[in-house]
Structure formats: C-alpha cells, structure tokens
C-alpha cells in the first residue's frame, strides 16, 4: 500500500475510533513500526493528528471560538442547572471548556466565591467581571486556551475545592468518560480527587463517541448534568450513576 493510501486509512481509523496505536496500525497494514511512525509524523505536520505516547489521537481540537458556537443553547441549559449546586462562599474548580464557560455570567451574583480554572479565556472574562479568579498555570494549548502539564498538576494537587465542574470530549457506550490526551486526563483526575463534590457537564452530542484516553466512569461523579435522553436499555445500564436532567 502506498504512503498516501496508508495515511488516508490512518485518518479514517482515528475518526472512527477516536484514536489509534502504532502497534495495531502496523499489524493491520502489514508494515513496520517505523513506517507507521513516519506516517503519523507526516500527518502531525499537516495538522491532521496530534501525537501521544504509543500512538496518535484525533485531529486537532476545534478552536475555542468554534466550540463556543456549537450546541450553545444546550450548554446554556446545562450551565443553568449546574448553578443550582453552587453555594455562597464556595471554592469552585471550573474545567477548561465552553460548557463551564457558560457558567461565568450566571455566577456574578455569588460575590464571595473563588473560582480556580485552567482556562485562560475564563480567567480573563472572570477578572473583567471582578470575580475572584485563580489560574493554575501550565503549558497553554493555544487554540483552545487550556493549560495542562506539570505546573497545572502541581497547582491542582495543592488546592482543595468544594465543587468541581468538569467537561469531557466524549462518553462511550460503557459510560467511560474520555478526553483526547493523557495530560488532560491527569489534571481532570486530580481536580476531581481534590473536590468534595464533582459534576460532569456534557451535552447530548458527547454520548456514544470515543476519544483516546479514559478519564474515569460517569459513576465516579457526584452527578452528571446533561440534556441527553436515555432509552430504556440505557436506563438499566446506568445504575450507580446520578443523572441530573438539564
């Protein structure tokens, strides 16, 4: 198989599965690991994929502005429901993302809360509103204004939160919560473990999809706030998961 055909196959596999492993691709295409690594490097340089240890993840994430425009009404509904779980004086962790971003305007009436976030856009918007903001620091993923890495993880390890409001790239058929990269999975796990309560905010478009890295399962959260409508079979399988319908 020629290089171009291999690379098209790799891109299609990533779109279908949310991510691929070098070893699996080499076996499927009957080529060497080095050949697959060269293909992935080429696709990475073209901006089609992002590399991670042992494989590649999906095409680079959409920009922050584009994400804001997608399913915005649903995100606003979820944000309004999430506000019901905020109390005066709380220390909140707001995960980087556009659904949590929709919570900011609704939090203006809570003058005595503190918001910790790894989202640059959220930090800037909150500070302009006069809100008490703490930014984690870390390596900035410029297109989505998200901070990750060792500095982010160190900050999160040393802070405690009353409530964490978390986002995700997708939720698969087993209700595993997924994200595109290991660095994102790590900071999310730390934020949840350092919170008294945690809520996953996901709109219906995130369900029954895959991404590269598992964060945890939906049952690991205090509650899952969503507009997704579960069918009868799904309702049976979602035991131990507290669903809060937006």
Tens-place pLDDT, residues 197-230: 999 999 998 998 877 789 999 999 999 999 999 8
The whole-number average pLDDT for the span 3-10 is 83
What angle, 0 to 180 degrees and rounded to 10, lies between the N-to-C axes of helices 33-45 and 22-29? Answer: 110
State the pLDDT confidence band at 20, using cuts at 50, 70 and 90.
Answer: confident
The whole-number average pLDDT for the span 107-127 is 94
User: Contacts from 102-107 at CB under 8 Å and sequence distance 24+?
Assistant: 102/72, 102/75, 102/76, 102/78, 103/79, 103/165, 104/129, 104/131, 106/79, 106/80, 107/83, 107/131
* pLDDT at site 38: 87
Decide if pLDDT at 160 tops 60: yes
Q: Tell me the two tokens of residue 59.
A: 């095409």
Residue with tokens 């070893």: 23
Q: How many CB atoms lie within 10 A of CB 150?
A: 12
State the pLDDT confidence band at 149, using cuts at 50, 70 and 90.
Answer: very high
State the pLDDT confidence band at 103, using cuts at 50, 70 and 90.
Answer: very high
H or E element in which residue 33 lies: helix 33-45
Which residue(s) pair with 146 in the sheet? 119, 141
Specify the pairing of strand 114-117 against strand 55-57.
Answer: unpaired
Contact 144, 101 (CB under 8 A): no
The radius of gyration of the chain's CA atoms, rounded to the nearest angstrom, is 19
What 3-state DSSP class applies to 226?
A: strand
Q: What percent of the chain has pLDDT over 70?
A: 88
The whole-number average pLDDT for the span 62-84 is 79
The whole-number average pLDDT for the span 96-101 is 93
The whole-number average pLDDT for the span 177-198 is 94
Decide if pLDDT at 113 tops 80: yes
What's the number of CA atoms in the CB half-sphere (13 Å) around residue 42? 13
Domains and CATH numbers, the chain: 3-57 (1.10.10.10), 65-245 (3.40.50.1360)
The whole-number average pLDDT for the span 185-207 is 96
State the pLDDT confidence band at 47, using cuts at 50, 70 and 90.
Answer: low
């Amino acid at each position: 198989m020629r290089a171009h055909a291999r690379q098209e196959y790799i891109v299609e596999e990533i779109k279908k599965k949310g991510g691929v492993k070098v070893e699996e691709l080499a076996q499927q295409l009957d080529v060497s690991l080095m050949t697959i690594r060269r293909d992935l490097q080429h696709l990475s340089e073209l901006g089609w994929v992002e590399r991670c240890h042992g494989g590649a993840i999906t095409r680079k994430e959409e920009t922050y502005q584009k994400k804001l425009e997608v399913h915005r009404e649903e995100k606003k509904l979820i944000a309004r429901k999430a506000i019901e779980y905020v109390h005066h004086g709380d220390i909140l962790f707001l995960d980087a993302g556009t659904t949590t971003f929709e919570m900011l305007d609704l939090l203006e009436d809570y003058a005595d809360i503190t918001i910790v976030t790894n989202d640059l856009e959220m930090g800037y918007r909150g500070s302009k509103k006069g809100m008490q903001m703490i930014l984690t620091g870390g390596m900035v993923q410029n297109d989505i204004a998200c901070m990750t890495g060792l500095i982010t993880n160190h900050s999160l390890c040393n802070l405690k939160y009353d409530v964490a409001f978390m986002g995700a790239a997708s939720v698969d058929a087993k209700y595993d919560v997924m994200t595109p990269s290991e660095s994102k999975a790590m900071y999310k796990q730390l934020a949840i473990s350092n919170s008294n309560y945690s809520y996953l905010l996901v709109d219906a478009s995130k369900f029954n999809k895959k991404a590269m890295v598992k964060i945890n399962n939906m049952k690991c959260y205090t509650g899952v706030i969503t507009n997704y409508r579960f069918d009868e079979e799904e309702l049976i399988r979602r035991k131990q998961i507290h669903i809060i319908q937006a």
